[in-house]
């Protein structure tokens, strides 16, 4: 059984925002809502700048699903976390629960009134009839029903953003890492995330170039 | 008579102030409310798009896996 996931290779992402643009265009995402965005850290620091493309990660144990008071979330057979906008009350609980900031809320009128939640659908539409106008208007394009992968991953020029079955894309990434000579421990951010640098040592930023 | 009806009314009023005991429903699980979505493989493939047999999950998964592997530039070059 496929479990659809995204994986972004920070060594390859060049912060072109092609994924963001592809998503916006493919799903006609309204003004003020970004289902996907590119996050850059150490911006401008030579050798230490890294970017990563972030959207809904379609968690296996999704916290948004757990906190929703109207239970508008559901998971498809291929592991995509979707929601029903007809049930959503725009309370924002999912926004607080999500560790990736994926749920977005359009401004639905004056005085900052919050509309129904919008998020990445893995280009899988929603509960409306597949490929119908109602589905497109509410959730965007249903590319999975057309046998395609999400537009963001397919448009990525450096193939930094991989989308698909978790096992398949993990294999691609693993082989890629082995080919470029990184064995894991020297991967950027690994030391700072999984081990403390020795006392007095410089922060875990690479000395230059690719780590 | 009046006393009896007053008594009955007060009993009813007190009954209205009672708190109903809340019991958690172990059967209720998140993600079970929305059940009207259909599976991607139940659609007819596009005329010029990737092909699979309508309703056949295995063939849909096979073609999407092939598409996923196209993201692997090393494999794409060698094939």
Report how far residue A4's alpha carbon sits from residue A81's, in angstroms, rounded to the nearest whole number.
Answer: 9
pLDDT per residue as tens digits for the range A61-104: 999 999 999 999 999 999 999 999 999 999 999 999 999 999 99
Q: What is the pLDDT of residue A199?
A: 64
Kindly indicate the confidence band of residue A202, based on its pLDDT and cuts at 50, 70 and 90: low
Q: CATH number, domain at A149?
A: 3.30.70.20
A21 pLDDT exceeds 90?
yes
Q: Is residue A203 part of a domain?
A: no
Q: Mean pLDDT, chain A, as a whole number? A: 88
Its ipTM equals 0.83
Residue A108's pLDDT is what?
66
Backbone dihedral angles phi then psi of residue A208, each to the nearest 5 degrees:
165, 150
Q: Does B3 touch chain A if contact means CB atoms closer than 8 Å? A: no
What DSSP letter does each residue of B18-51 carry, written as one string?
PPPPP---TT--TT-S------GGGSPPPTTS--
Domain count, chain A: 1
Provide the pLDDT for residue A209.
Answer: 46
Range 57-76 of B in CB contact (< 8 A) with A = 57, 60-61, 63-65, 67-69, 71-74
The answer to whether residue A115 is domain-embedded is: yes
A-B contacts at Cβ under 8 angstroms: 107
| Interchain contact B35–A (C-beta under 8 A) | yes
Residue B79 pLDDT greater than 90, yes or no: no
Residue B31's closest chain A neighbor by CA?
A74
Is residue A202 in a domain? Answer: no
A176 at interface of B, judged by CB pairs closer than 8 A: yes
Does some domain include residue A200?
Answer: no
Tell me the C-alpha to C-alpha distance, in Å, between residue A75 and each of A79, A119, A199, A203, B39.
6, 14, 46, 40, 11
Instruction: Tell whether A209 is covered by a domain.
Output: no
Range of the domain at A100: 4-194
User: Which of A74, A130, A148 is the closest to B67 by Cβ?
Assistant: A148
Contact B71 A76 (CB under 8 A): no
In A, residues 135-174, which contact B (CB 8 Å cutoff)?
142, 144-149, 153, 159, 162-165, 168-169, 172
Residue A152 CA: distances (Å) to CA of A22, A62, B8, B48:
5, 21, 69, 21
CB contact under 8 A, A145 and B37: no
- The closest CB to that of A168, out of B40, B46, B65, belongs to B65
Q: Which residue has the higher pLDDT, A106 or A55?
A: A55
Where does the pLDDT of residue B4 fall: very low under 50, low under 70, confident under 90, or very high at 90 and above? confident
- Per-domain boundaries in chain B: 39-79
Which H or E run includes B58? helix B57-69
A78, A129, A147: residue with CB nearest B45? A147
CA distances from A16 to A57, A101, A206, A209 (A): 20, 20, 22, 19
The pLDDT value recorded for residue A194 is: 67
């Amino acid at each position: 059984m496929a479990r659809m996931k995204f994986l972004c290779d920070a060594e390859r992402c060049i912060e072109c925002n092609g994924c963001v643009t592809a998503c916006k265009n493919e799903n006609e995402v309204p003004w003020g809502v970004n289902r996907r965005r590119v996050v850059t850290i150490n911006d401008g620091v030579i050798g230490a700048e890294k970017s990563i493309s972030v959207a809904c990660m379609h968690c296996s144990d999704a916290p948004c699903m757990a906190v929703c008071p109207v239970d508008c979330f559901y998971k498809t057979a291929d592991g995509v976390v979707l929601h029903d906008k007809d049930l959503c009350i725009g309370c924002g609980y999912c926004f607080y629960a999500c560790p990736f900031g994926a749920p977005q809320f359009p401004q639905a009128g004056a005085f900052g009134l919050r509309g129904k939640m919008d998020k990445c659908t893995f280009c899988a539409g929603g509960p409306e009839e597949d490929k119908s106008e109602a589905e497109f208007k509410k959730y965007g394009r249903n590319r999975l029903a057309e046998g395609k992968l999400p537009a963001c991953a397919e448009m990525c020029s450096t193939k930094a953003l991989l989308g698909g079955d978790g096992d398949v894309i993990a294999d691609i990434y693993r082989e890629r890492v082995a080919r470029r000579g990184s064995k894991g421990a020297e991967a950027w951010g690994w030391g700072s995330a999984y081990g403390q640098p020795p006392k007095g040592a410089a922060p875990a930023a690479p000395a230059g170039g690719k780590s | 008579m009046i006393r009896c009806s007053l008594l009955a009314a007060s009993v009813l009023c007190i009954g209205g102030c009672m708190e109903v005991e809340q019991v958690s429903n172990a059967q209720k699980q998140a993600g079970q409310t929305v059940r009207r979505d259909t599976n991607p493989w139940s659609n007819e493939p596009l005329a010029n798009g990737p092909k699979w047999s309508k309703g056949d999950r295995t063939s849909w998964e096979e073609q999407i896996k092939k598409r996923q592997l196209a993201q692997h530039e090393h494999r794409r070059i060698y094939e």
